[in-house]
Structure 1
């Protein structure tokens, strides 16, 4: 039987948001830049390497960041521009490789298995990196390895604008000297628990019996042991733009009551926006659908900056509905659909929300998760 080693490349757009701002304003290159809200109550969405030297990191309160670096330059985030460049890079990759996964707005996995026998995986990925830089102007770092976990760790080790290949069989040796905090999925809580046990490096973690980690952490202990030993069989999941999340409602009685219709749009939008967030996804396109009493159906869609925030999505949905509803007929059905989905966590900080806003949104989702999404809806969804 013919067998071959897997070759997975992990591509990361270096400080993606900052790099986009560099393209828009080259005078910012080399400066400590903070991307986010333009007031001290906001949070840092991203920052340049020059700012990181002062201990600044993403999700830090802007007020704290400015205390650490008083001469930092705050740049108001423009997620429309970031979405545009993300789509541009995605198009370049889509035109170049047969199988890729879009892991986030600025992160990709590419399956190059088998290409080593015909062209060379490192050579191909290097040419792809050059092509992306040429067509988008954005720098790329990549790591090439036998699986997704090792390739991601490798990428993070050679930023910015680097490239590295971890040969098959060298996974454990590469990971061994690294801090346990370099392993994907090891957060502050897990890291603190391991450090208290004296486990500081991946080598020490990999030598702990898997049964012990299972007893300590359950199923996540097994996953952690496998990662520490460089084991990961997870596939590259093909990226398909046509995936969607949608909802629609056929009314018991046809209506032109705009108060009722707006309340329904609010309820429906908040429902599938919450579904987006529970799946850790963002949408880049909204479609609104209307079916009239004579069964004629019309739709209108709009590309938007990637988001999963209720307020932004609801504003776009109501705008589309207003543009679409031009006839004075009774309506029997309305629908809302989100498409162009990509993986991504709640990007609240990219929209100039304050720390209070972020805490509120997180509390709302926490209540919905615990007691059910229908328990808590905004006033606009009540009639």
Structure 2
């Protein structure tokens, strides 16, 4: 049975939310970013892109290049709210949905065409999202996740695209290899040096040679260039999570030391989020008193994977949970409502230097292990007074 996969991708999502809130920004070069001295841009409108501005560009450089650029600081809570709204509209109407990122969803309609025309359904679903949220949306419909995503990208902004199986290779061949999901600058440069810049050229290379050049990634890239992708649409569930808990071998009521332990746990979990290219929208803190009474506090937050943001919220929840002067025997942290994405969502509130610090810390952890570096707030200057954990 031929698969029918829809890729639903919001157009310039952060900027679109800001335009929805302030109509004066419509059709103007707009960017979401930090301050002019040290900030970088996280999202830019199509009008700004046409003037040479791009996401990840330092704010100072963008303003020099485009003096008329309107920079908005951004609001993570608003973006998370609208992301949830879009997800709910889609989830209520489809059999299988994967939330691939804060602004992107996949829908598997395989086998449903005999009940409802999939192209007609995709059009109606897109219209419903736009009507209920006010946000622009593009969809691509095709035989797998890779092709449907490329189709969507080729029909942006605010468009609709459909490529049936017989036309997949004809559609892919003239495109740049940069259009293949997962092809970054390093891969593009490597293949360009070999004279491979179009998908048509790439598919002429034997798969065995791609394996010798790039290993298993070369095979995956070759398959995508040939329109092959058997990756399933993974049903989205809000309870996807990562967690950690520490049992104290010696019960403790040293609040400051426990707060430091929470910071350490969050730092390790946030690193795991970034390594998996995930963001979290919900944090849960659990404590257990010496009498085995368990208390849990939970909060929905703006999508993030940044240590300091999560530590602040975790400590706040711990303070709410620990309202009795009693010994504790356990503390636990859970980060849930995970979606694919990168920490750039919070960059408009993070300086360029702080972002560089996160990247440098992660590089050290990747090389020497996740415990190789910690932030100051998780240090324990007096080990004898800290709770022993197991």
User: Do they superpose with TM above 0.5?
Assistant: yes
Cα distance in 2 for partners of 1:148, 1:263 equals: 43
Q: Supply the distance in 1 between the matched residues of 2:79 and 2:150 (Cα, whole angstroms).
A: 24
Residue aligning to 1:366: 363
1:275 to 268, 272, 275: 272
Contact 1:36 1:350 in 2 (8 A): yes
Q: Provide the rounded CA distance (Å) in 1 between the counterparts of 2:240 and 2:196.
A: 41
Q: 1:93 aligns with which of 84, 90, 94?
A: 90
Counterpart for residue 184 of structure 2: 187
Kindly indicate whether residue 162 of structure 2 is the aligned counterpart of residue 141 of structure 1. Answer: no
| Structure-1 residue corresponding to 2:227 | 230
The runs of 5 or more residues in structure 1 that have no matched partner are: none
Q: Does 1:299 align with 2:296?
A: yes
Task: Show the counterpart of 2:384.
Answer: none
Q: 277, 282, 286: which is aligned to 1:285?
A: 282
Shift of 1:200: 2.0
Please list every run of at least 4 consecutive aligned residues from structure 1 whose deviation after the TM superposition is greater than 4 angstroms.
none
Q: Matches of 1:42 and 1:52 in 2, distance apart?
A: 18
Cα distance in structure 1, aligned partners of 2:375 and 2:141: 47
Instruction: Tell me by how many angstroms 1:332 deviates.
Output: 1.2
In 2: Cα distance, 1:56 partner to 1:96 partner = 37
Give secondary structure in 1 for the equivalent of 2:166: coil
Gaps of 5+ in 2: 381-390
> Contact 2:76–2:346 (CA<8 Å) still a contact in 1?
no
CA distance in 2 between partners of 1:289 and 1:172 (Å): 52
Shift of 1:350: 3.0
Give the TM-score, by structure 2 length. Answer: 0.95
Does the 8 Å contact 1:285/1:304 carry over to 2? yes
45, 49, 53: which one aligns with 1:56: 53
Q: Offset at 1:365? A: 0.8
Normalised to the residue count of structure 1, the TM-score between the two structures is: 0.97
Structure 1 range deviating more: 53-62 or 302-311: 53-62
User: Residue in 1 aligned with 2:75?
Assistant: 78
Give the Å deviation of 1:351.
Answer: 4.0
- The structure 2 residue matched to 1:322, chosen from 319, 324, 334, is 319
Structure 2 residue 180 is the aligned partner of structure 1 residue 197: no
1:345 equivalent in alignment to 2:347: no
Please list the CA deviations of residues 265-289 of structure 1 after superposition, one character each: whole Å capped at 9, or x if unmatched.
1111111111111111111011111
Q: Given the alignment of the two structures, is residue 113 of structure 1 paired with residue 110 of structure 2, yes or no?
A: yes
Structural mapping, 1:240-255, within 5 Å: 240-255=237-252
> For the Cα contact (< 8 Å) 1:42–1:61, is it kept in 2?
yes
- Name the residue aligned to 1:151: 148
Cα root mean square deviation, aligned: 1.1
